Amino acid sequence: MEPRIRLPLIAAVLAVVPVPAGVLESRTPYHSASDAVARPDSAVLLTAWFHHSAGVQKSLEHAPVRAEWQVDGAWKPLGETTTDGEGKAVLTVKAPSRPGTVRLRWWYQLQSADANLVVVAESRPASVFDIDGTLTVSDLENWKDYGRRLRRSPKPEGPRPRPHAVEAVQACATDSFIVYLTGRPPWLGGPTRAWLAIHHFPEGLVLWMPTTGAAMPTQAHVGAAKAVQLKALQAAGFTFIRAYGNAATDIRAYAAAGIPKAQTYIMGRHGGEGGTVAGGEGFSMPDSR
């Protein structure tokens, strides 16, 4: 889901915790590359974001970057481009003719960001999961984790997963493709992938907001961006058979994509709104916020 915490509140939380000297001058990479879906031989837009941490995120502006993909076990050049004023890099390429998953890698100098391109030949069932407040115990967990990393005292396990969340996603993976659609900003893409892997969540598409501004927790921002992404995935061949979230914006985005309310599972205080199902199959029901 999207973090419902406002940026001024995040700053206030971080302000009460001592920050070691030098952290604000650090340039820790927060590069990320989004997964993509395409039909065989179709044009597909690949996107990556390049940011450095300096207490707040600093975009890597107008920098040369390159992309490559893995073909028959070997990495081959895919193209070169330049980031824009927000650190965003875009390449349009022709998808392979053979269905399957192709590994992607973007580079800025010796720093990289990995992603996947999924080529879909025919309709494929899918389950979509929000992350914060849905797979984690609360929206606040993500920002607490980010604050710890800024202070150079991260917990390796990151935000706390909701009890039985991994098992619930694993169950869905037996009959559908997994899509993780989070309202987090682009510069948290890398940590998001790492968190899913550390806790052994099933592999799947990992998508986040297209811009930092789109991560604002409102229907006009996160809600609208999620609806657009879901519809694009449907156009590429996915049929969503169930959806999990915890916010009103999740409910509206899933409805806009035509996902049945009886298969829309909402955690926390919005559970059951608009005909959705409160809680989720396989999840611990209590909300910890």
Of the residues 119, 146, 176, the one at which a domain ends: 119
Strand, helix or coil for residue 140? helix
Are residue 43 and residue 90 in the same domain, yes or no?
A: yes
| pLDDT for 2 | 38
Compare 22 and 198 and report the one with higher pLDDT: 198
144, 96: one domain: no
Distance CA 4, CA 23 (A): 26
Instruction: Give the confidence band of 285 by pLDDT, cuts at 50, 70, 90.
Output: very low
43, β-bridge pairs: 94
pLDDT above 50 (res 248): yes
Can you tell me the distance from the alpha carbon of 200 to that of 177, in angstroms, rounded to the nearest whole number?
A: 16
Query: Looking at the structure, do residues 230 and 161 belong to the same domain, yes or no?
Result: yes
Helix axes 248-256 and 224-236, enclosed angle (nearest 10): 30
- Asked if residue 5 has pLDDT above 50, the reply is no
Residue 89's DSSP bridge partners are 48
pLDDT at 54: 60
Helix (H) or strand (E) holding 251: helix 248-256
Output phi, psi for 77, to 5 deg.
-60, 140
Q: What CA–CA distance (Å, rounded) separates 26 from 9? A: 23
Check whether 64 has a pLDDT greater than 60. Answer: yes
Residues 67 and 102: beta-carbon distance below 8 Å: no
Can you give the pLDDT at residue 26? 53
pLDDT over 80 at 217, yes or no: no
Residue 36 has pLDDT above 60, yes or no: yes
Confidence (pLDDT) at 280: 65
Average pLDDT score over residue span 51-65: 83
Q: What is the dihedral of CA 144, 147, 149, 155, to 10 degrees?
A: -30
Shared domain for 115 and 256, answered yes or no, is no
Q: pLDDT: is 153 or 104 the higher one? A: 104
Q: What is the 3-state secondary structure (H, E, C) of 170-195?
A: HHHHCCCEEEEECCCCHHHHHHHHHH
pLDDT at 215: 79
pLDDT in tens, 144-178: 877 777 766 667 778 889 999 999 999 999 999 99
- Considering the domain architecture, whether residues 91 and 200 belong to the same structural domain is answered as no
For the residues 108-113, what does the mean pLDDT come to? 95
Query: Cα–Cα distance between 204 and 118 in angstroms, integer?
Result: 10
In a domain, 284, yes or no: no
Length reported for the chain: 289
Q: Are residues 170 and 264 in the same domain?
A: yes
Q: Are residues 111 and 144 in the same domain?
A: no
The pLDDT of residue 276 is 95
Per the CB < 8 A criterion, the answer to whether 157 and 198 are in contact is yes
CATH number for the domain including 154? 3.40.50.1000
Please report whether residue 110 resides in a domain.
yes
Identify the CATH number of the domain in which residue 63 sits.
Answer: 2.60.40.10
Q: Average pLDDT, whole number, for the chain?
A: 85
Are both 64 and 157 inside the same structural domain?
A: no
* Model confidence, pTM: 0.86
Tokens standing for residue 239: 């049929």
Is the pLDDT at 99 greater than 60? The verdict is yes
Q: Give the CA distances from residue 94 to residues 43, 48, 134, 228, in Å, rounded to whole numbers and listed in that order.
A: 5, 17, 35, 22
Residue-range definition of the domain harbouring residue 225? 7-14+123-278
Residues 137 and 249 placed together within one structural domain of the fold: yes
Give the count of domains, the chain.
2
Question: pLDDT band at 11, cuts 50/70/90?
Answer: very low
Residue 97 lies in a domain: yes
Q: How confident is the model at residue 7 (pLDDT cuts 50, 70, 90)?
A: very low
Element (H or E) spanning 266, and its range?
A: strand 264-266
Residue 55 has pLDDT above 80, yes or no: no
